[in-house]
């Protein structure tokens, strides 16, 4: 059982822990993300800190350790301000299977509902990631497109599915 009090918005002071967990995610699940581990490792810490201001970055804490994360990126351009992108959902391997990913996604949906004017959430998922696709479907996301050759991974490519859901 996941206690919702474990999840909170990250602040600039959390940037080192967020960076560390994101780099772990990029190494362990490289085909799940469009970012590259080496490129991300080269970004200065203040870049990560700024993102906690510009986006809604949520973290799930297991005592003092960041156990999972997700980001909500509201779109800034006038004609698409009604949309936000959910990205970077990741849960440490030793915390999987207990509902933490679902709780983080629910928290991101709740954060989106709390923002005036948001009507649509979008995200991308690797086409072969059945567990992620089940989670997203259970939260009302539906596929609206397929992007072959979306992300280079090693000598091959990963197909990404584009999903969306309305915000009631």
- Domain of 119: which CATH number? 3.40.630.30
Which residue range is the domain that position 61 belongs to?
A: 4-166
What pLDDT, in 10s, does the model give residues 106-139?
Answer: 999 999 999 999 999 999 999 999 999 999 999 9
Number of CB atoms found within 10 A of residue 4's CB:
11
Cα(159)–Cα(98) distance, rounded to whole angstroms?
Answer: 28
Residue 73 CB partners (closer than 8 Å, separation 6+): 55, 56, 84, 85, 86, 87
Q: How confident is the model at residue 8 (pLDDT cuts 50, 70, 90)?
A: very high
What pLDDT, in 10s, does the model give residues 13-70?
Answer: 999 999 999 999 999 999 999 999 999 999 999 999 999 998 999 999 988 899 999 9
Q: How many domains does the chain have?
A: 1
């Amino acid at each position: 059982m996941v206690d919702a009090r474990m999840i909170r918005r990250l602040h600039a002071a959390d940037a080192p822990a967020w960076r560390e967990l994101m780099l772990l995610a990029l190494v362990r699940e490289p085909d799940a993300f469009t970012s590259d581990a080496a490129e991300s490792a080269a970004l200065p810490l203040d870049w990560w800190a700024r993102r906690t201001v510009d986006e809604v970055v949520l973290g799930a804490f297991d005592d003092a350790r960041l156990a999972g994360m997700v980001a909500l990126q509201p779109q800034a351009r006038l004609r698409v301000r009604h949309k936000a992108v959910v990205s970077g959902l990741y849960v440490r391997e030793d915390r999987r299977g207990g509902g933490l990913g679902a709780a983080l996604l629910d928290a991101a949906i709740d954060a989106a509902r709390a923002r005036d004017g948001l009507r649509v959430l979008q995200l991308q998922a690797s086409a072969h990631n059945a567990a992620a696709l089940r989670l997203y479907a259970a939260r009302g996301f539906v596929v609206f497109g397929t992007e072959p050759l979306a992300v280079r991974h090693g000598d091959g490519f990963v197909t990404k599915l584009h999903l969306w859901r309305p915000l009631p």
